[in-house]
Amino acid sequence: MSPLRRISDLRASDFDTAVTEDSIFVLPVGAVEQHGPHLPFNTDLLIAQACAEAVISAVGDELDLWLMEPLAYTKSNEHAGTPGTVWLGPETMMRIMEDIGRSVAATPVRKLALLNGHGGNSSLLNVACRELRLNHGLETFLLHPSLPPDQGGGDSDTGDKHAAGELGMGIHAGFAETSLMCHLRPDLVRMDLAKRNVPDHLADNDHVRFGGAVTFGWLAADFGPSGTIGDPTGANAEVGSQLFKQAVEQLAEAFSEIKTFSFNPTTKP
Ligand SMILES: [Zn+2]
């Protein structure tokens, strides 16, 4: 058996014995998009993959989790126009999710978990979760290594102090994400190029702001040419290591609830 429980490492002759209706498939969803001047294009992909691999190493045997190959190119159209960014339009991405769901539904597996590292995918993936439930009867789940501040996340024991400088709007290439990369792939990080770029003027709003009750359509370029939305200065591997550990622990807890999740618990033995 694959040490990492990677589905694509299996042979067709192994599949029926390895994968059962109790198995859970885990699809890391990344992005290849600009991440400011200091982080690589594959930041979200690396983080989603690293978290998926770590949680499957930790609890994959116990919970019968199986790693799918990651989806690298996704809905990054808020970064359209930046050379190096490769983005799928929403219709294309939804079609891909539909095709992946159909393929998963052709196996005995009934639970598909999307582990998403790119905040720009979240809304679409929530819609996809329902479509796959309706079209293929799958039980679908959407998880994040950490929830972006504009989706209700952002607080953490280790990130709080510095994240205060982000005013709750460190949503792209900011302190937490940069720290994670300093931990996971320091060779790809250029801290000498990391600069604060926070839309301070939105912080006075009670409603219309990142993390507020009123959302708004935005493009990275709406916040200037920097590409960063947040404050990566001061990011470091020590914080990144703590954030990563926390993320993996929380994901492990979430997967254990996904394992026992049922719409009709009384009908279960
Ligand atoms: Zn990112």
- Closest C-alpha to 24, from 116, 140, 193, 118: 140
Q: Which residues surround ligand 1, an ion (CB under 5 A)?
A: 43-44
Q: What is the predicted pLDDT for the residue at 157?
A: 43
User: Rounded distance, CA 190 to CA 157, Å?
Assistant: 25
CA 14 to ligand 1 centroid distance, Å:
36
User: Rounded distance, CA 230 to CA 1, Å?
Assistant: 42
CA 36 to ligand 1 centroid distance, Å:
10
User: Rounded distance, CA 216 to CA 168, Å?
Assistant: 16
- Examine the pLDDT at 122 and tell me if it is beyond 60: yes
User: Rounded distance, CA 261 to CA 268, Å?
Assistant: 10
CA 118 to ligand 1 centroid distance, Å:
5
Cα separations in angstroms, 18 against 12, 24, 104: 10, 12, 14
Chain segment 147-167, per-residue pLDDT in tens: 777 787 765 444 555 677 898
Q: What is the predicted pLDDT for the residue at 248?
A: 97
Residues in the chain: 269
CA 59 to ligand 1 centroid distance, Å:
25
- Examine the pLDDT at 7 and tell me if it is beyond 50: yes
Cα separations in angstroms, 58 against 11, 64, 175, 190, 254: 24, 11, 26, 31, 13
Where is pLDDT greater, at 1 or 204? 204
If 0-12 CB within 10 Å is exposed, 13-18 middle and 19+ buried, where does residue 24 land?
buried
Tell me the mean pLDDT in the region 10-16: 95
For the chain, list the strands marked E by DSSP.
Answer: 24-29, 65-67, 111-116, 139-143
Tell me the mean pLDDT in the region 21-42: 98
CA 63 to ligand 1 centroid distance, Å:
28
- Examine the pLDDT at 121 and tell me if it is beyond 60: yes
Q: How confident is the model at residue 33 (pLDDT cuts 50, 70, 90)?
A: very high
Amino acid letter for position 92: T
CA 45 to ligand 1 centroid distance, Å:
8
- Examine the pLDDT at 266 and tell me if it is beyond 60: yes
Q: Delimit the domains of the chain by residue range.
A: 7-267
Tell me the mean pLDDT in the region 196-213: 92
Amino acid letter for position 122: S
CA 9 to ligand 1 centroid distance, Å:
28
CA 177 to ligand 1 centroid distance, Å:
7
86: which 2 tokens?
């490769």
Say which CATH superfamily domain 7-267 falls into. Creatininase (3.40.50.10310)
Q: What is the predicted pLDDT for the residue at 165?
A: 85
CA 44 to ligand 1 centroid distance, Å:
5
For 110-199, list the strands marked E by DSSP.
Answer: 111-116, 139-143
- Mean of the per-residue pLDDT values of the chain: 93
- Return the minimum-mean-pLDDT range out of 22-31, 95-104, 166-175, 224-233: 166-175
Location of structure tokens 């929530």: 126
Within the chain, what is the greatest distance between any pair of CA atoms? 60
Chain segment 125-135, per-residue pLDDT in tens: 999 999 999 99
60: which 2 tokens?
């994959």
Tell me the mean pLDDT in the region 220-243: 95
Cα separations in angstroms, 88 against 68, 80, 213: 20, 10, 27
CA 64 to ligand 1 centroid distance, Å:
28
Q: What is the predicted pLDDT for the residue at 156?
A: 43
CA 29 to ligand 1 centroid distance, Å:
11
Give the three-class secondary structure for 221: helix
Chain segment 65-95, per-residue pLDDT in tens: 999 999 999 999 999 999 999 999 999 999 9
CA 46 to ligand 1 centroid distance, Å:
10
Find out whether 183 and 263 touch, Cβ atoms under 8 Å.
Answer: no
- Examine the pLDDT at 208 and tell me if it is beyond 80: yes
Residue 243 CB coordination number (10 Å): 23
Torsion of CA 203, 207, 208, 210, to 10 degrees: 60
